[in-house]
Amino acid sequence: MARTVLVVTALEDVTADWVVAALNERGVPVVRVDPADIGPRLSFGFRIGSGESAWSGLLRTESREVDLRSIQAVYYRRPTPYRNRFARLLRQQRRFAAAEARHGLDGVLRSLRSARYVNHPAAVARAEFKPGQLQQFIELGLRVPATLVTNDVVAAREFGLAHPSVVCKTFRGLPPGEDGRAGAIWAQRVHREDFDDSLSVTAHLFQAEVPKGGDVRVTVVGRRVFAQRITDPRGAVDWRCGDWDDLVHTPVAVPSVVETALHGYLAASGLVFGCFDFALTGEGSSPDDWWAIECNPNGQWGWLPDAPAITEAFADILSMEGTSSSS
């Protein structure tokens, strides 16, 4: 039985396209599926028990089918939310159908014990909480900015008084609006004089601003590490908010102690891959120049200059025989 890579993502996913193409060039069988296609375009019949200790059965798309027993790796990218599939239903029906699909189909796809996940969705969900990331960074010996998580205006004002410059960040991206379009709220400087009781409405993340000379995006795939220094000519607090064509990318060497910490972070989080963001002071030759900001356990990397090499790294790890990273 041919060993297959299952790619779980939406139809329009250029990053996944590159990895699929690299696997095809190697002659690795690939089946791509978007679980939100459940219905005539996606059917399945999975069994366990009666002598079977693991899930077996076929998963069928319009053009492919795969036996669960043949799946050696799962590249879990960005599938369409089930709620989109059932949007035409009444609210209660929509929520019920989406929950049944998630617990049934996703429940099986998350339980393939012999498959290597890059990354397992349960591990991604656990690793997405920034407070936990920051604490783990410190435990691994990395520097992080002084941070306050609060909904209390007095605490926020005291934090602003204690630090020369403070930035505010969101914990998550801005969800899609009524028109279906997603937005973004960039990291920005804030002033304690502007804080008022509206802070109590929800949680806020404040950090002491690091006097950085640039940022670094470190993409780790298995044991391979790719690092690019990102310089914004405008000196913006958040380089993502401007014209990406103006950004200057320069390869940068990651200090060994920082690299060791990143591998330790992924291992402790049950992850195979992660995109780490750092603020860089000095030239970056000393570990003290590296300030850990966050890790995106399902981050984008296709825009980076070393995307072709990262693509091959993904193809390498998905082609390997191995066991699940975590669940």
Element (H, E) at 44: strand 43-49
pLDDT averaged over the chain?
A: 92
The whole domain housing 158 covers 146-209
Decide which of 107 and 245 is more confident.
107
Rounded Cα distance between 72 and 286, Å, is 40
Same domain for 156 and 129: no
- What pLDDT is stored for residue 1 in this prediction? 56
Same domain for 297 and 312: yes
Global pTM reads 0.91
- What pLDDT is stored for residue 280 in this prediction? 95
- What pLDDT is stored for residue 4 in this prediction? 95
- Evaluate if residue 47 carries a pLDDT over 60: yes
Same domain for 277 and 131: yes
Same domain for 318 and 216: yes
| CA angle in degrees (0–180, nearest 5) for 190-218-223 | 150
β-strand pairing of 43-49 with 71-76: unpaired
- Mean pLDDT for 56-72 is 94
- Mean pLDDT for 155-166 is 96
Same domain for 173 and 135: no
- What pLDDT is stored for residue 283 in this prediction? 82
- Evaluate if residue 23 carries a pLDDT over 60: yes
Phi, psi of 78 (to 5 degrees): -140, 75
Rounded Cα distance between 312 and 245, Å, is 24
Q: How many domains does the chain have?
A: 3
- What pLDDT is stored for residue 326 in this prediction? 45
- Mean pLDDT for 216-232 is 96
Same domain for 163 and 34: no
Same domain for 151 and 139: no
- Mean pLDDT for 148-160 is 97
- In angstroms, what CA-CA distances link 289 with 4, 72, 213, 258? 43, 40, 10, 10
- What pLDDT is stored for residue 193 in this prediction? 92
% of the chain surpassing 70 pLDDT: 96
| Contact partners, residue 88, CB within 8 Å, separation at least 6 | none
Same domain for 223 and 182: no
pLDDT in tens, 84-132: 899 899 999 999 999 999 999 999 999 998 899 999 999 999 999 999 9
Q: Are 262 and 274 in contact (CB under 8 A)?
A: yes
Q: Are 214 and 204 in contact (CB under 8 A)?
A: no
Same domain for 126 and 91: no
Of 192, 209, 226, at which residue does a domain stop?
Answer: 209
Same domain for 240 and 129: yes
Of 209, 234, 264, at which residue does a domain stop?
Answer: 209
Same domain for 298 and 165: no
- What pLDDT is stored for residue 219 in this prediction? 98
- Mean pLDDT for 140-144 is 97
Band the pLDDT of 321: cuts 50, 70, 90. very low
- What pLDDT is stored for residue 323 in this prediction? 39
> Residue 19's closest CA among 316, 323, 292, 322?
316
